[in-house]
Structure 1
């Protein structure tokens, strides 16, 4: 019987600088060693050693493009595991502590390739309440609706190899947001049309006035646009 090497994973996660770099990579973007070193406040040489350990643990992969080497999260499964691992980290006063430590990340952020945070959780709840999503075999079945088109979502024509939408437990809200291809389309479309915008070297997303108005008109939500903050970032 093969025994999972939790010790290797624990070693990889047991450093604040490596946690900071993983947090940057949870945007779903790829960064060079130098860029991640800057984000973590360490030297490029130290960052290279940290990244090598993360690669050995299977959390990060490195890809060469021209003269540069770019690092990224090893895949959506790793991103989901990191997001959900954060839900069991020790906290001093549960939800309030989560929100305080998340800072500007709490309202809206990227969870690898999909939206997370209180806005994303509110969207997921609205989809279920309005019957646009129906729980099905551990995932969600999307019901045809004109609302999907307005949100930039194209529903699959038939059964897919993986669930089109699935719950991903949000580490600040402790409720599910939407992952899977549907979640990816929601974030991609929102960024494309300017509903949200990235913060440089931060996982947090800023919601624009257009995004606030769009979610209010399409889904009846009234999210408060996140404000920029220098708050620390957690996985």
Structure 2
């Protein structure tokens, strides 16, 4: 009791504070953002990416694994880590989308970092679906053609289900994961398509050669074949895909 007031205990409070604490470190935040590419990274790769010593990175990874944000696998002497599941990816992306832009930050960045940032803004993977201007262009095209609804939350229409089937994109059930879900895009500040349908579209686009990764990061670009196919399937102008 404090000042005559009785504190009401909420059993979730301590857990929420602990979870928030995992994000409250820039090195750990850098690792979580890097792992949004949906792939497993070695501890050494993440240490180099974050610009910290391997021993320091190992300590941070231990906290993230213990907190349920990362899962780890060991193969020989290598330790691989990845985001624990799609829910963690959603949490990281949603938090990143709420970070306000820093005025003047672009001018202070190196040319290489600025170029990489521009590529990410054009198109990238967000865990297992497409984001950036590319993701928004696909989402808008699906919506404009009545294949996707956004008025009452994201949902594929019957014609939308038929479109995915006709395009050869399998929508295998994802357990408790929704078929379609809106994910707030941190560069466009608008929702793009996620969920089972978003993941299937991304996977098919990469497998079919509609899109290709740029280097080893999250950035992707649409190929000439992708421009042709997406123009034919969804009427998207090539300049909206690049």
Superposition TM-score, scaled by structure 2 size: 0.79
Q: What is the match of residue 154 of structure 1?
A: 170
Structure 1 residue 31 displacement after superposition: 1.1
Gaps of 5+ in 2: 1-9, 108-113
Return the alpha-carbon distance in structure 2 between the equivalents of residues 48 and 163 of structure 1.
34
Q: What is the match of residue 166 of structure 1?
A: 181
Return the alpha-carbon distance in structure 2 between the equivalents of residues 92 and 41 of structure 1.
22
| SS of alignment partner, residue 29 of structure 1 | coil
Q: Which has the higher helix share?
A: 2
Structure 1 residue 82 displacement after superposition: 1.0
Q: What is the match of residue 206 of structure 1?
A: 221
Q: What is the match of residue 7 of structure 1?
A: 17
Instruction: Report if the CA contact (8 A) 1:28-1:72 is conserved.
Output: yes
Structure 1 residue 105 displacement after superposition: 0.9
Q: What is the match of residue 231 of structure 1?
A: none
Structure 1 residue 163 displacement after superposition: 2.4
Structure 1 residue 194 displacement after superposition: 1.4
1:179-198 equivalences in 2 (<5 Å): 179-198=194-213
Structure 1 residue 66 displacement after superposition: 4.0
Return the alpha-carbon distance in structure 1 between the equivalents of residues 18 and 238 of structure 2.
40
Instruction: Report if the CA contact (8 A) 2:185-2:191 is conserved.
Output: yes
Q: Deviations over 1:56-87 (max 9, x none)?
A: 33221112234432100011011011111112
Gaps of 5+ in 1: 227-235
| SS of alignment partner, residue 203 of structure 1 | coil
1:64-75 equivalences in 2 (<5 Å): 64-75=74-85
Q: What is the match of residue 68 of structure 2?
A: 58
Q: More relative contact order in 1 or in 2 (CA 8 Å, sep 6+)?
A: 1
Structure with bigger gyration radius: 2
Superposition TM-score, scaled by structure 1 size: 0.81
Instruction: Give the superposed CA RMSD.
Output: 2.7
Q: What is the match of residue 124 of structure 2?
A: 109
Structure 1 residue 112 displacement after superposition: 0.7
Structure 1 residue 215 displacement after superposition: 1.6
Return the alpha-carbon distance in structure 1 between the equivalents of residues 25 and 176 of structure 2.
36
